[in-house]
Amino acid sequence: MSRCFLVRHGATEWNAQGRIQGQSNPSLNEAGRRQARRLGLRLAQVPFAEARSSDLRRCSETVAGILRGRNDVRLQEMPELREKNFGAWEGLTFREVEARYPDRYRNWLRAGDPSFAPPGGESDLQLYSRADSVVDRLREARTDSDANLLVVTHGGMLRALIARLLDLPAQRMWNFRFANAGLSVVSVFDEGNAVVDLLNDTSHLGEGFGE
């Protein structure tokens, strides 16, 4: 059995403004950097065999905050761990998307069709397929069945990864919600079954958690 410590990146100014980030590349804001440091303190005593991260800045900066001073952990950035591509909707708030693309926006919310893609973007089915290839790569990379693996990525990719690990269909991705710097832990058994041990925990961000 191995354990995957799954983390959503810390906050950015686009998060604060309610903007769709997708594969755009904003950096963490001060709140996000603080969140990463606090999560690093929480995980300081967890031995990681290795770490994987999206190559977008908000994830690279988050994993750097978590692993600060831990030169023993090998880190690999994976473009496959990027957020869903929202195409023309990136940089817009949901209210702006609704104003500019009213029919598509309503259909997206009402139909829950995983094959729907924003203009120039990715569908949930495409994101799920990407998550499927990521899971395969993570399993191939395991050198120790008892190892802990740190994965820092995005909310949409986390939904897809959790659904894939639990053998849920792509339509179930939106049953999960992930906060900035939230921590989830999934145990993956050698035969492929997975169990969620912790989901979207943010207790390390609460008042009184020192730095």
Q: Distance between CA 129 and CA 118 in Å, rounded? A: 17
Q: pTM for this structure? A: 0.94
Q: Which of 83, 90, 122, 154 is catalytic?
A: 83
pLDDT at position 90: 98
**If pLDDT is split at 50, 70 and 90, which confidence band does 142 have?**
low
CATH of domain 2-87+126-205: 3.40.50.1240
pLDDT at position 208: 52
pLDDT at position 163: 96
Beta-bridged to residue 52, according to DSSP, are: 76, 151
pLDDT at position 136: 87
pLDDT at position 87: 97
Mean predicted confidence (pLDDT) in 125-144: 84
Mean predicted confidence (pLDDT) in 122-149: 85
**If pLDDT is split at 50, 70 and 90, which confidence band does 145 have?**
low
pLDDT at position 106: 85
Mean predicted confidence (pLDDT) in 97-105: 93
pLDDT at position 107: 80
- The number of C-alpha atoms within 13 Å of 113 and in the hemisphere containing its C-beta is 12
pLDDT at position 113: 86
pLDDT at position 57: 98
Q: Distance between CA 185 and CA 50 in Å, rounded? A: 15
pLDDT at position 207: 60
At residue 17's C-alpha, the angle toward residues 16 and 23, to 5°, is 90
Task: Examine the pLDDT at 211 and tell me if it is beyond 70.
Answer: no
Residues in Cβ contact with 61 at an 8 Å cutoff, skipping those fewer than 6 apart: 9, 10, 27, 28, 32, 33, 36
The verdict on whether 204 is a catalytic residue reads no
The verdict on whether 83 is a catalytic residue reads yes
